[in-house]
Structure 1
Amino acid sequence: MSTTLGAQRPVHTQEFRLRAWLRTPTVAVPGLAGLLAAVITALGSWIPSLWGDEAASALSAQRSLPSFLHEIVHVDAVHAVYYAGLHLWVSVFGASAFALRLPSAIATGVMVAGVVLLARFFVSSWRLPLIAAAFAVGLPRLNFAGIEARSYAWTAAFATWILVCAVATLRGRVSAHVGWAGFALLAGVGTALNPYVGSLILVTGCLAALSAGERRAHLRRWAWASLVALALASPVILLAVLERHQVAFLAHRPEPAETWVVKQWFHDPLMAIIGWALLVAAAVVIAVRRDARLDLGLGVVALLWVVPASAFLIGTIPTLHHYAPRYLTLTAPGVALLMALAVDAIFRSWKPAGVAALVLVLGAAVPAYLAQRGPNAENASDWAEVSQVVAAHALPGDQVAFDTVVRPSRRPQSAWRLYPRDFRNVSVPQLVTPYWQRKTWSDELMTIEDAAAQHRFTAPTVFAVESDFASTGVVDVNGIPALESAGYHVVEHWKLHSDEVYKLDREGTPPR
């Protein structure tokens, strides 16, 4: 009897200690901050129409395993890990706009919890960590990533927790074996999720070189852990290199300075002015503050997080052409930390000014938050509206025709796949090859003109969806005339945000 009780007591003691640790502010506050961040981010995420890149996510995630493998060995290997995770998600929760975007909101919560914990490593007060959390939620780049069915919110989450794990290890908060093993796993999966996350491996190496104490041991363990991480990610890295032609179009899409000054993190000029002012102030604070106890100061961590990757991608725009604002989402939590450092310094100098600065930043972030939840906020897409028009007016046996002239990310045919219930009454006679039989993510459709020439339009009523993106300079001038030559005439017309829907009846069809 005594032996049994003696064996059980340590278990109860461990359980009690675990429950007590979980209730400590060190765990509870980051957890609650992350939960609140996820909820705030998810609000209104279902409102914007899904757009082309999200169509790639949704359709890739809904393929069978053989079809999925066929796709990623030809295109989008860089997103293979995200698509695989999303496949499991949609098999349980479905593929509505809200369901597709919710994982990104969850990633924002995971990121914010990590930001709070990382900041807490360096300060005894909760003020700086919570300011950083508020800025991470409000920063437009992170907010946008949090309501988009793409992997970028998860790149920010992985980047944050890679640094949490590395700093905790370097500062002796966890054992070296556990810490570097965790780092290797996070860095490996994160780099497989998106190769740019691999920049955090170099950041961690710099931190190991700057650390006090067992510097050589830290560097040796970092090197081994980094090799393990790169080995884990190597299949995706290799395929991504082989498929680098996918982003060749960036060479023909020059980015003005406004893109990386304003749109990269801040969305609009007012937020950019405030944000850059705080970043400069943070650099000054980091330069003038001296604290021997902070061998790995939070400011140094944040600067290394933000500057090298940003400088490399922006600096190589003329040669490598691998820059897009979303690619640097993984640096945005570091931007939030730097801004928080500046505002915290204002708080320490004069609390009312600190409150004013905090309110100013969060107030300036509100317009972007609201704009990103407008019906056409995602790349000006209006596919939800297109689908609603078809659903409201189409009858069983009708057909739909799609403009195929514009580039794939703007082709309105994606509305058919993203909102399938709204197209249940219509067929698509232009279909040549469905997406799951192709090596790319989209269906192969012939032009309206070719389908009409082959007499594929036979229904009493056809709904033609024509893209109307003024900025593209490309207009399908033959779609409607081709249908009219096939014996149809326009009886109704809806001009939406970026597309136009025409209802055409065959000559002699009685009014409905």
Structure 2
Amino acid sequence: MWRDESVTYQVAHRSLDELWGLLSQIDAVHGLYYLLMHAVFAVWDGGLLALRLPSVAATALAAAGVGAIGTRLAGRRAGTLAGLVFAVLPLTQQYAQEGRSYALVTAGVTWAAYFLLRATADSRARWWTAYALTLVLASWLHEFAAPALVAHGLTLWRSRPERRDAWRWAIAAVAVGTSLLPLAVISAGQAEAQLGWLGRPSLSAWLLFAGLSAAAVALCRLLLRVGAPGAVPLTRLALPLLIAPAGLLMTISLIKPWYVDRYVLYGMTGLALPAGTALAWAIGQRHRLAPAARMLTACLLAGAAVAVLLPWSLLVRSPESRKDDVVAVARVVERQAHKGDGVLFMPSRRREWLLSHPGVYGRLDDLALAESPAVSRTLQGTELKAAEIRRHILATDRIVTLQDPPGQPLDAVPEEEVKRRTLRAHFEVCERTGVHGAQVVVYVRRGVIPC
């Protein structure tokens, strides 16, 4: 479990009153997801399995949606292969086994695209209603699902729809935007706290975006050149979905950082569709090869796929694929801490590392805590003033500290500075244990108690 999953876990275990109080201050963008997870834990408090099960189910649902779109546009084989390609993409696998909302958003946006296809082919209003309601649900799970409307609009524009369909899509888009307006207003007020940690997209992010886009364009050009079934409508749907939402957020982020790849995870649908269709076309050409050449080609392609995908697949299932490992931190603290020891979080936001392990956290005396997360309606609680923190530290002989790894920038605020200064002046390091993304350092009062 990494820090974002820990937030989901501890917030979803709050009462509805406490949860509502939190959302009025921060994380309103995740409000519907937290309510869903609150319901999941109310039915079955199954720990990490319960935390991640909705994401697993949503990814399966999204893969089925990719398959349904591919089948409708390019045939059953293409749909099946597109769904399989979607499922094995490393980014899909990463968020399939993470307790956050992104897999659910992807399922919603993918099925909204399917309903859009049905709506433009069938004049009955139920498909437009399904399209609008599904996109509303996805956008309330995370409001950055809304840029999918831009992709769908481009798809319709390139398809030269009938005037009636254009108007119905416009009405659906207005309905989605209107329903999202309350969430947008609330989250705009929380934007600094919510997205203040983001920087502008890095060079590697731009290169990844360019590489994926180029691969999808190349696949679509191949399908068009060979005249693969459904190549034209599939290209019109897939490329905007992959490129437009991510490109829009990345461009905006040059001015105001908003972009993280997981916010537009649903763009992977736009990559899986042409990839699956290209595989289906290639399989359809197998009769042109001699049996021996056919077998050799199949083995080479399968070997290349395993060689490329297996290392990534294993990586995203390891703690090293995340920024930290909350479970590992809690285990170290449980092993090293004595009941009644003081604990300091340096910086204070690292309190998240223990909040999802109340059995471990409850054994310790939080020396800097002013109000708990639930009482203060915050994610990690509020801390005392610097002078009070110093007084509490000096009244304690043994302190467990949870810190960022060496080399990370230090928060230059009085409360954090007084923690570091007081520990240096009056304590000595008894034990230092590094774990992925963190370190647990035990201090004892100099000359008072032995290590």
Q: TM-score range by the shorter chain?
A: 0.7 to 0.9
Q: Does 1:100 align with 2:47?
A: no
**Mapped partners of 1:137, 1:362: distance in 2:** 14
Structure 2 distance, partners of 1:294, 1:284, is 13
In structure 1, the residue matched to 2:289 is: none
Cα distance change on mapping 1:313 and 1:418 into 2, 3 Å: same
**Kept after mapping to 1: 8 A contact 2:246/2:261:** no
Partner of 2:20: 69
Shift of 1:112: 0.7
Between the two proteins, the alignment pairs up a number of residues equal to: 440
- Aligned equivalent of 1:198: 146
Structure 2 stretches lacking a partner, 5+ long: 287-293
Counterparts in 2 of 1:308 and 1:375: CA distance versus 1, 3 Å: closer
Deviations 1:153-201 (A, max 9, x none): 11211111101111123233xx622211111210111122222222333
What is the 5 A alignment of 1:385-396?
385-396=328-339
Judge conservation of contact 1:397–1:426 (CA < 8 Å) in 2.
yes
What does the per-residue CA deviation read over 1:80-119, in whole Å, with 9 as the maximum and x for residues that have no partner? 2212212212223337333322222221111111111111
> Residues 24-423 of structure 1: matches in 2 within 5 Å?
49-51=1-3, 53-94=4-45, 96-126=47-77, 128-172=78-122, 176-209=124-157, 215-246=162-193, 249=196, 253-262=199-208, 278-290=215-227, 294=230, 297-350=233-286, 353=297, 356-357=300-301, 359-379=303-323, 381-404=324-347, 408=349, 411=350, 413-423=351-361
For each residue in 1:356-414, what CA deviation from the matched residue of structure 2 results, as whole angstroms up to 9, or x when unmatched?
Answer: 445423431221221122234321x1332221122123333232222126xx4xx2x21
Matched residues in 1 for 2:232 and 2:146: separation? Answer: 21
- Tell me if the contact between 1:285 and 1:345 (Cα under 8 Å) persists in the aligned partners: no
Q: Is residue 260–residue 325 contact of structure 1 (8 Å, CA) maintained in 2?
A: no
- Residues 106 and 249 (structure 1 numbering): CA distance in 2 closer, same or farther, change over 3 Å? same
Q: Deviations over 1:284-336 (max 9, x none)?
A: 12442557x85962222111211222222233332343222222212112112
Shift of 1:484: 6.4
Q: What is the DSSP-based 3-state SS (H/G/I as helix, E as strand, rest coil) of the residue aligned with 1:454?
A: helix
Q: Read off the aligned partner of 1:396 and give its amino acid letter.
A: K
Any stretches of 5+ residues in structure 1 without a counterpart?
A: 1-48, 266-271
Query: What one-letter code is carried by the residue in structure 2 that aligns with 1:141?
Result: L
The alignment yields a C-alpha RMSD, in angstroms, of 3.2
How many Å separate the matches in 2 of 1:96 and 1:123? 41
Which amino acid is 1:201 matched to? L
> Does the aligned pair in 2 maintain the 1:162–1:183 contact within 8 Å?
yes
The residue matched to 1:63 in structure 2 has which SS?
A: coil
Distance (Å, rounded) in 1 between the aligned partners of 2:157 and 2:434: 60
Q: Which amino acid aligns with 2:267?
A: T
Alpha-carbon distance in 1 for matches of 2:363, 2:247: 52
Q: Is the 8 A contact 1:184 1:225 kept in 2?
A: yes
Do the aligned partners of 2:246 and 2:264 also contact (CA within 8 Å) in 1?
yes
Amino acid of the structure 1 residue aligned with 2:374: W
Q: Name whichever of 108-117 and 347-356 sits farther off.
A: 347-356
8 Å contact kept, 1:189–1:233: no
Aligned pair 1:482/2:430, yes or no? no
Aligned residues of 1:466 and 1:501 also touching (Cα < 8 A): yes
Q: For the residues of structure 1 that align with 2:136 and 2:381, how far apart are their CA atoms?
A: 33
Greater alpha carbon shift after TM alignment, 352-361 vs 179-188: 352-361
Corresponding residue for residue 465 of structure 1: 402
In structure 2, the residue corresponding to 1:121 is in which secondary structure? helix
Q: Residue type matched to 2:330 in 1?
A: S
Superposition deviation, residue 429 in structure 1? 2.2
Distance 1:218 1:354, change over 3 A: farther
Write the deviation string for residues 404-462 of structure 1: whole angstroms up to 9, x where unpaired.
26xx4xx2x21220222233422212111111123432212348x74552235645532
- Which residue identity is paired with 2:346? D
